[in-house]
Amino acid sequence: MTTREDATREAAALGEQLRRHAHLYYVLDAPELPDAEYDKLFQRLQALEAEHPELRTSDSPTQRVGGKVLEGFAKVRHKVPMLSIRTETDITPGGASAFDARVRKELGLAEDGPQVEYVCELKFDGLAVNLRYEQGVLVQAATRGDGEIGEDVTQSIRTVQQIPLRLHGHAPPVVEVRGEVYMRRDDFEALNERQREKIAAGQKNEKVFVNPRNAAAGAVRQLDPAIAASRPLSFFAYGLGEVSSPEQGGPDCATQFDWLQQFHAWGFPIGTQTQRARGAIELIAFHETIARQRDALPYDIDGVVYKVDSLELQRRLGFVSREPRWAVAHKYPAQEQLTEVLGIEVQVGRTGKLTPVAKLAPIFVGGVTVTNATLHNEDEARRKDVRVGDTVIVRRAGDVIPEVVGVLPESAARPAQQRGPVFTMPRKCPVCGSDALREEGEVDYRCTGGLFCGAQRKEAILHFAARRALDIEGLGDRLVEQLVDANLIRTLPDLYKLGFTTLAGLDRMADKSAKNLVDALEASKKTTLPRFLFGLGIRHIGESTAKDLAKHFGKLDAIMDATEEQLLEVNDVGPVVAKSLRTFFDQPHNREVVEQLRACGLNWEEGEPATRAPKPLAGKTFVITGTLPTLSRDEAKDKLETAGAKVAGSVSKKTDYLVAGAEAGSKLDKALELGVAVIDEARMLEILENGL
Ligand code: IVH
C-alpha cells in the first residue's frame, strides 16, 4: 500500500505525463511513447486511484474517454455516442474465456446451457470515423473525438477511394456507418519514402511518420484535402451509428453479421477475416489463427474484437460506463516497445549496400524477441540521432525488418558528454576494407570491392556465372551457397580451381553433374571482353555499356587504366558510370582478382581501339537560337558536340556561328552587330555532313 503523500505525488506526476502524451498523440499526431508504455502509465494511475479514490479528480486523464477535439475543425455532436471497447489485457487464450464467462453470467445462462454466438473481427489499427449518409449520399464524416463530440473531417474523408460517396443499392433516409480509416503497410512505406526524399530535398515542414496509424490520423485530420488525397488511406466498416428504423425504410438486421453484409452491399470493404464463432473455444481458435496470420496481413492490427452477434442479446447486455458488455478487444503483443541501444554496427548486404543497424538489449516486440533494428541509412540514423545508450522505440510490424522509430526525448535530452558519438558512416567497407562510396543523389553507401568482399561473394559469383556473363551452366543459387558456405570458394578465381573430386563430394551432386560443371568451367574460359567486363559486376555497367567500352578501348588494360575523362568519351558513358568504373579498378583487390582470372586461363580476343570518331568541328563555337524547323535545340546541340564543337549560351566575339531558327531575338541582333556568321538548320546539317 502506498502512503497517501506518495500516492498524491505520484498521481500528480502521472497525470501530467499522461496529459502531455495524450496531447502529442491525439492533437499533434506526433506520439513520443509507444502505446504499450502509455497504457502502463495509464494503468498505474488507475490502480492508484482505485487505492485512493479521493485522487480521482474529474480532470484526471482516467476520466476522459477518448481524444480531444482539434482546433481548426468544426465540431460534430454524435447522434449516437461513439463508444470504446473494453480491452482484455490478458493476451493469452484465457482472455477469450473470461469474456465468454462474463457474457454468460450476465445473460443468466446455466453452465450446460446453449453456447453464445459471436462475430469475430480484427481490431484494425487506425482512426475510428462516423460516416453519415442521408438519402444514400455522404453528407458528413466525423472523427470519434471524445466519443460525444468529434471533428468534421468530411473533406479529407471524401478523398478515401474505398468510402462510397453514394451508397450502392437501396439506401435508407438516414444511416451512419462506422469503421476504421487506416493505411496499408506498403502505402505507409511508400509515403515515408516520399517524405524522406522531400526532407532530403530540403523541405523543412515535412516529417517521417512513426507508424501507419499515426500517418492515417495525420492524413484524416489534414485541413488541406489535396494533401489528404496524396496520402493513400483505406477503410473497413464494422459498426453502426444512427439509422432509420425498418418502418422508416432502414434495413431490418437482427445480428452484427447481417449488418456487416449490409455494409458490404452498400459498397464498403468489410474485414475479410470476419468469422462467426460459438462459445469460448471458437473464440480462442480465432485468436490463435489470426495470431499466425498477423505478420502476413497487409495492414497493422493490434488484436481481435469479439462481439455478441445477436442485437437482441446486445440490448440485454447493455453498457458499463462507456463500454458495451457485449464486446471486447483481445490484444496481441505490442508492435512497438522501448529498449536500450547497446551499439551501432554497419552491415553489408549481398549487393554491397551498407546499412547501419542498432544492436539492442533483447526486447519482445510484435511477438518475437528482437536484438537488431535497422536505421536504414546514414541520413536516417543522423536525423533520428540515435546514440549508444539511448532508449529508443523499436517497431516490428509484419514481416518488415524491425526498425528504430525514434529516441525517447528523455534520452535525447541527456548532456552531450553522456551520450555516444553522432553516427557517421565508415568510408571503408567493414567487411573487406574497400572504399565505401555514396553516389550523388543516392542515400546509400556501397562497398566498391564487389569481387573481393565476403558479404557480396555469393551475389558476385552468381552474376559472374550468369548466362549473359561467363555463362557457366550448372552453377546455380544452391550450389554457390554450398560452395561459399563450405569455404571452397572465396573469390572468383577459386571457381577455376574446383576439381571433379571436390565437386562430386558435395551434397546432392552426382558424378555426371560434377563432370558437366567442370566442363562448363573450362568452356567459360574462352569468352569475350564485353562478357568478362559485364561479369565483373561493376555497379552501373550493364551489358550494353560493357560492349561500348570494349569497342571503344579494344583492350581490358586500356579500360582499367582510363581516366574518368577518357571514359566519358565513350558512347552513353556519363559521369556516374565513369566514376563507378574508376573506383572499381582503383581497388587493388579488384585488380588482383582480374589478374588471377587471367592467370587461370580466361581469355578473349582483344581488338584495336575504335578509330576516334572524327571531330571536324573541334575548336569551333556555336550558339543556337529560335525554333529550328526539324530539330529540338538539345538535339542540335548534341549533334554539334558529337562533332567536336562547343555550344555556348550567348553570342560573343568568340562565337563562330549562330544557328538561327524562327523567332530568333536578341541573339540574332547581337550576332549581326558583331559580324558573326548566321546559318540556318539546313546549313548546319550540311556542315555536319560534309565539314566546313
Ligand atoms: S467496435 C462499441 N470493431 O477500436 C464498439 N472497433 O476502443 C465500438 N476498432 O475506437 C467499436 N477495429 O477505433 C470495433 N472491428 C472493430 C474495430 C474497432 C478497430 C477500434 C476503433 C475504436 C476502438 C475501440
Q: Which three cell numbers stand for residue 388?
A: 549508444
Q: What is the CATH number assigned to the segment(s) 449-612?
A: 1.10.150.20
Write the pLDDT tens digit of every residue in 488-532. Answer: 998 899 999 999 999 999 888 899 999 999 999 999 999 999 999
- Atom 17, ligand 1: residue with shortest CA distance: 123
Residues forming CATH 3.30.470.30 domain(s) in the chain: 86-331
- Give the model's pLDDT for residue 226: 75
Q: Would you say 256 and 120 are in contact if contact means Cβ atoms under 8 Å apart?
A: no
How far apart, in whole angstroms, are the C-alpha atoms of residue 145 and residue 256? 24
- Give the model's pLDDT for residue 366: 85
Residue from 451, 458, 493 nearest 479 by CA = 458
**Is residue 114 predicted with pLDDT exceeding 90?**
yes
Residue from 683, 660, 684, 662 nearest 672 by CA = 660
Residue 18: pLDDT band (50, 70, 90) is: confident
Following DSSP, what letter does each residue of 124-179 receive, concatenated? E-SEEEEEEEETTEEEEEEE-TTSSEEEB-HHHHTT-TTS-SB-SS---SEEEEEE
**Is residue 548 predicted with pLDDT exceeding 80?**
yes
- Across the range 100-115, mean pLDDT stands at 94
- Give the model's pLDDT for residue 30: 76
Residues forming CATH 2.40.50.140 domain(s) in the chain: 336-418
User: Which of 205-209, 225-229, 309-313, 406-410 is the least confident region?
Assistant: 225-229
How far apart, in whole angstroms, are the C-alpha atoms of residue 75 and residue 27? 14
Is 336-418 assigned to CATH 3.30.70.20? no
Q: Would you say 128 and 177 are in contact if contact means Cβ atoms under 8 Å apart?
A: no
Instruction: Tell me the residue type at 157.
Output: I
Residues forming CATH 1.10.287.610 domain(s) in the chain: 4-63
The side-by-side arrangement of strands in the sheet containing 301-308 is 86-88, 327-331, 301-308, 117-124, 275-278
Residue 570: pLDDT band (50, 70, 90) is: confident
**Which of 178, 180, 236 to mutate to test ligand 1, by most ligand atoms within 8 A of the CB atom?**
180
- Give the model's pLDDT for residue 645: 84
C-alpha 163 chain-centroid distance: 25
Residue from 29, 39, 100 nearest 70 by CA = 29
C-alpha 477 chain-centroid distance: 27
Instruction: Say yes or no: CB of residue 317 within 6 Å of ligand 1.
Output: no
- Give the model's pLDDT for residue 69: 44
**Is residue 212 predicted with pLDDT exceeding 90?**
yes
User: Which of 100-109, 113-122, 344-353, 450-459 is the least confident region?
Assistant: 450-459
Residue from 285, 304, 284 nearest 294 by CA = 304
Instruction: Say yes or no: CB of residue 220 within 6 Å of ligand 1.
Output: no
**Is residue 67 predicted with pLDDT exceeding 60?**
no
Class of domain 4-63: mainly alpha
- Give the model's pLDDT for residue 234: 94
**Which of 26, 84, 85 to mutate to test ligand 1, by most ligand atoms within 8 A of the CB atom?**
85
Q: What is the CATH number assigned to the segment(s) 621-690?
A: 3.40.50.10190
Instruction: Say yes or no: CB of residue 83 within 6 Å of ligand 1.
Output: yes
C-alpha 450 chain-centroid distance: 26
Percent of the chain whose pLDDT exceeds 90: 63
More confidently predicted of 549 and 635? 549
- Across the range 114-121, mean pLDDT stands at 97
Q: Which three cell numbers stand for residue 275?
A: 468469422
Q: Would you say 66 and 84 are in contact if contact means Cβ atoms under 8 Å apart?
A: yes
User: Which of 66-80, 100-114, 169-183, 579-593 is the least confident region?
Assistant: 66-80
Is 86-331 assigned to CATH 3.30.470.30? yes
How far apart, in whole angstroms, are the C-alpha atoms of residue 602 and residue 168? 70
How far apart, in whole angstroms, are the C-alpha atoms of residue 275 and residue 272? 9
How far, CA to CA in Å, does 107 sit from each of 114, 255, 309, 316, 325? Answer: 11, 17, 14, 8, 11
Instruction: Please give the span between the terminal C-alpha atoms of the chain, in angstroms, as a whole number.
Output: 102
- From the CA of 128, give the closest atom in ligand 1: 13
**Is residue 324 predicted with pLDDT exceeding 70?**
yes
Instruction: Say yes or no: CB of residue 553 within 6 Å of ligand 1.
Output: no
CA of 84 relative to ligand 1 center, distance in Å: 7
**Is residue 612 predicted with pLDDT exceeding 70?**
no
Residue 144 exposed, middle or buried by CB count within 10 Å (0-12, 13-18, 19+): buried
CB atoms within 10 A of CB 618: 10
Instruction: Say yes or no: CB of residue 78 within 6 Å of ligand 1.
Output: no
- Give the model's pLDDT for residue 58: 67
Write the pLDDT tens digit of every residue in 48-64. Answer: 998 898 888 767 777 65
CA of 97 relative to ligand 1 center, distance in Å: 20
Residues forming CATH 1.10.150.20 domain(s) in the chain: 449-612
- Give the model's pLDDT for residue 576: 87
